[in-house]
Amino acid sequence: MQYLSQKAVSGYERLAFGNITDAVKLMFSDKPENIENYDLFNVAEIKRPKDNSMEIKFFDRLKALEKLELLGRPQKNNTSDFYNAILCGLKNSQSDGEDT
């Protein structure tokens, strides 16, 4: 059970703090090469509409941060302050939006 918990935390950390560079490369390349080497872990969905454009949807970073909070695990690389600031900002922006 401990192993699965560690895997979940690792996955949520990758979603929350991961790099999207390869997805951006994919979006702007006409003929992507070596796509099997791209890190598309953060990509939730890729669409290519009829006009031959490309749409890429990413997993929600804030939801991943919330899941990490629910798991009650300390984040790697001392990201706790950064993580708490993001959550505080999210909560403030949600409450600001409700007032209007």
Mean pLDDT for back-to-back runs of 10 residues, the chain (100 residues): 84 93 90 91 93 92 90 60 76 65
> How far apart are the C-alpha atoms of 95 and 57, rounded to whole Å?
26
What pLDDT is stored for residue 43 in this prediction? 96
What pLDDT is stored for residue 69 in this prediction? 86
What pLDDT is stored for residue 32 in this prediction? 84
What pLDDT is stored for residue 47 in this prediction? 93
What pLDDT is stored for residue 76 in this prediction? 55
> How far apart are the C-alpha atoms of 93 and 81, rounded to whole Å?
18
> How far apart are the C-alpha atoms of 19 and 41, rounded to whole Å?
9
What pLDDT is stored for residue 60 in this prediction? 95
What pLDDT is stored for residue 100 in this prediction? 43
